[in-house]
A and B are shown apart, each in its own frame.
Chain A
Amino acid sequence: GEDVEQSLFLSVREGDSSVINCTYTDSSSTYLYWYKQEPGAGLQLLTYIFSNMDMKQDQRLTVLLNKKDKHLSLRIADTQTGDSAIYFCAEIYQGGKLIFGQGTELSVKP
């Protein structure tokens, strides 16, 4: 079935690294995504990874993909208070529909 799971909360101190984890079910997904949602704002695509890649780095963001375990992670280096938000991982199905996880609320303390 279609299921994407994430831990619900993460709290870090400013300057530390944050790691948000996700597990997914459909091994045929071509892309996996990370979206960010801030209060009162729409969903914003942060980054994505193609399914034949193990790692992708984009400035402070590092995405790791373990296809064998169907595990995806997002690492944010030097986390800032402005990074406080809810982060969703999502996998794409045929037709382009996205299946999202429940979201991980990241709280960054100064």
Chain B
Amino acid sequence: DTGVSQDPRHKITKRGQNVTFRCDPISEHNRLYWYRQTLGQGPEFLTYFQNEAQLEKSRLLSDRFSAERPKGSFSTLEIQRTEQGDSAMYLCASSPPPAGSGRPNEQFFGPGTRLTVL
């Protein structure tokens, strides 16, 4: 049983460098979400895709952030010109198409990519 996978699990970079993270959702899941979690806080929503379409972006997602899901399967999150404030755990989640009424649309989370910006 393959869950949501993320790569890399850890990334250390210097301020000003670009980084790219990858998320592979559970196959057949058409929705894919990106969240960011800083120490001592809950995950904060960044953006989500339904198939290849990016349907919502949070105000947290500055111009330096871009996310893609080109074929409606895996997704990438790129951060350009990283800043120390970008240091966080970046979480990806996927969910299947909405089920019938009375059932929640469960999101399955990956293990996250921990980014440290020096």
CB within 8 Å of B: which residues of A? 4, 30-31, 33, 41-45, 48, 50, 88, 90, 92, 95-103
The A/B interface has a contact count, at CB < 8 Å, of 61
Known: A96-B31, A100-B43, A103-B41. A41 touches B48 (CB 8 A): no
Residues of chain A within 8 A (CB-CB) of B95 are 96
Min CB distance B56 to A, Å, is 5
Whether B65 is near chain A, meaning CB under 8 Å from some CB there, is no
Residues of chain B within 8 A (CB-CB) of A97 are 33, 45, 48, 56
Query: A33 to B41, alpha carbons, bound, how many Å?
Result: 17
Judging by beta carbons under 8 Å apart, are B45 and A99 in contact? yes
Besides A44-B109, A88-B42, 14 other CB < 8 A contacts?
A30-B104, A33-B104, A42-B4, A42-B111, A50-B104, A90-B42, A92-B104, A95-B56, A96-B107, A97-B48, A98-B45, A98-B107, A99-B45, A100-B43
Query: A37 to B41, alpha carbons, bound, how many Å?
Result: 12
Whether B44 is near chain A, meaning CB under 8 Å from some CB there, is yes
Min CB distance A31 to B, Å, is 5
- How many residues of B sit at the interface, in one of the four size bands? 20 to 34
Other-chain residue from A4, A33, A41, A96 in contact with B33 (beta carbon distance below 8 A): A96
Chain A residue with Cβ nearest B98: A96
Other-chain residue from A42, A95, A101 in contact with B112 (beta carbon distance below 8 A): A42
Other-chain residue from A42, A48, A101 in contact with B42 (beta carbon distance below 8 A): A101
Other-chain residue from A43, A88, A96, A102 in contact with B105 (beta carbon distance below 8 A): A96
Q: Which of B89-118 contact A (CB under 8 A)?
A: 91, 93, 95, 98, 102, 104-112
